[in-house]
């Protein structure tokens, strides 16, 4: 604090941490700016790319809210996974492009986090072929899931639905989110009159629309290799 700071300066500096300001921000400022400068929903999943390193070890972060938001509902979801362990393993082994996958229950959401290679739609489609019944069992417990099951008869709709529940991946570097928003608006030119100080607001408004996000593209200890390459190199058979 500079020595010439008066009581008002000190008060204002401490303002953002106060409950009062946080209430005002959440209930008045954010809705106002969301109305005044709306942002569009950014799509989920990793950004498309033609470079090979970007097409292996891609992250999927799926968050699906349960219909039954009680311990009974959560137990049903847990059972749906536990009872289908063979199916899930056979599916993952035979799709061949998944490095890691896990189902997680967080609050009243059944989530699936996985690391996979190649195109998202191919991965989900090959899954529907092998474990469509497991998908049906799980998605029937999810809000809005009834519209897209049985998955085998609604392949395109199911893939789009999964894509919509996959989290947007905030770019690794802070200014990347501005570029993503500009691209969505079709604004690819370099206009020359941005305001970098609006970055916090743009981030807040985006998180107001994309509730759940993945921060960054994730850390990889051995980037650049597909699951099959790793298995082949270590002699586990692919």
Partner 1 sequence: MDDPLEAKSLETKSLEAKSLEAKSLEAKQLVDAIISDFPDHDPNTRPVHTIGIGVDGYFIASDVARSYCIAEHFKGQRVRTSVRFSNGSGSPVQHDGWSDVRGMATRFHLENDAATDLIAMTLGEFFSPQVKDFFEFTKAAQQQPYQMENPWRKILDMLQLKIPLRNPYPKETTSADAGMLCYANRHRFAQLAVFQAASIGAPVSYARATYHAVHTFVVTAPDGIRRPVRFSWQPVAGVRTTDPTAPPVDKYLDRELRDRLQQWTARFILMMTIGEAGDAIDDPTEPWPAKRLRIVMGTLTLTGVAEDQAAASEHIGFNPCRLLPGIEASGDPILHARRGAYENSRERRHGTPCPFNRSETDAK
Partner 2 sequence: MSTVFNPADVQGNILRGYHKPRMRHLMLEVTDRAAARRWLAASTSGGDGVPQITTEEPWETKPETCFNIGLTFEGLRALGTPDASLATFPPEFVEGMNARALKLGDAGPSAPENWPAPFNDPKRVHLIASIYADEIAQLDRLQHQALPDGKGLRPLGAREGWCFDGDYVHFGYRDNISQPRFKEIHDSESYSDSQPMAPLGTVLLGYPTNFEGLTWRVPQPEALGHNGTFNAFRVLEQDVVGFEAYLDKAATELLEHPDVDDLLPPGAEANIHLEPGDSLSRHAALREVIAANMCGRWRNGVPLALSPDATDPSPDVSKTNFDYDGSSRCPYGSHIRRCNPRGGQIVQRVANNSRRLVRRGMPYGPAYDPAKSRGLKKDEPERGLLGNFIGANLGAQFEAMSCDWLNLGLQDPRVTGSNDPLLGANEPETSWFDLPLKSGAAIRLRGLPRFVRTRGGAYTFLPSLSAIRFLGSLTN
Q: Give the footprint of partner 1 on this chain (CB under 8 A).
A: 1-5, 8-9, 11-13, 15-16, 21, 25, 29-30, 33, 49-54, 56-57, 172-175, 178-179, 190, 192-201, 204, 216-220, 223-224
Element (H, E) at 43: none
Taking each helix axis from N to C end, the angle separating 71-82 and 120-139, rounded to the nearest 10 degrees, works out to 120
Please report whether residue 117 would count as binding partner 2 according to CB under 8 A: yes
Please report whether residue 223 would count as binding partner 2 according to CB under 8 A: no
Please report whether residue 232 would count as binding partner 2 according to CB under 8 A: yes
Distances (CA, A) of 38 to 24, 35, 72, 211: 19, 6, 39, 15
Please report whether residue 153 would count as binding partner 2 according to CB under 8 A: yes
Query: Which among partner 1, partner 2, none contacts residue 95 (Cβ within 5 to 8 A by kind)?
Result: partner 2
- Token pair belonging to 135: 């998908």
Query: Which among partner 1, partner 2, none contacts residue 160 (Cβ within 5 to 8 A by kind)?
Result: partner 2
The SS3 call for residue 57 is coil
**86, 87, 95: which is closest to 117 by C-alpha?**
95
Lay out the site mask for partner 2 across 23-52 (x = CB under 8 A, - = otherwise). -------------------------xxx-x
Alpha carbon 104 to chain centroid, angstroms: 14
| Beta strands, E only, 21-167 | 58-65, 98-106, 109-116
**Residues binding partner 2 (CB under 8 A):** 48-50, 52, 55-56, 93-97, 117-119, 121-122, 125-126, 128-130, 132, 152-157, 159-160, 224-229, 231-233, 238
């Amino acid at each position: 604090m500079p020595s010439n700071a008066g009581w008002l300066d000190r008060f204002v500096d401490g303002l953002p941490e106060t409950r009062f300001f946080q209430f005002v921000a959440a209930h008045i400022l954010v809705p106002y700016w969301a109305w005044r400068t709306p942002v569009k929903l950014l799509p989920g999943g990793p950004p498309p790319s033609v470079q090979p390193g970007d097409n292996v070890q891609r992250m999927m972060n799926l968050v699906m809210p349960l219909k039954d938001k009680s311990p009974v509902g959560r137990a049903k979801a847990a059972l749906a996974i536990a009872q289908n362990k063979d199916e899930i393993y056979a599916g993952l082994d035979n799709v061949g492009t998944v490095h890691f996958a896990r189902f997680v229950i967080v609050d009243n959401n059944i989530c699936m986090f996985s690391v996979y290679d190649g195109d998202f739609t191919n991965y989900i489609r090959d899954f529907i072929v092998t474990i469509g019944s497991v998908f049906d069992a799980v998605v029937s417990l999810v809000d809005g899931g009834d519209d897209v099951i049985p998955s085998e008869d609604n392949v395109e709709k199911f893939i789009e639905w999964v894509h919509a529940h996959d989290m947007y991946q905030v770019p690794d570097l802070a200014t990347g989110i501005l570029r993503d928003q500009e691209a969505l608006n079709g604004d690819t030119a370099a206009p020359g009159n941005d305001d970098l100080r609006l970055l916090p607001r743009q981030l807040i408004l985006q998180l107001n629309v994309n509730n759940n996000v993945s921060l960054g593209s994730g850390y990889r200890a051995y980037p650049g290799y597909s699951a099959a390459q790793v298995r082949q190199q270590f002699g586990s058979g692919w």
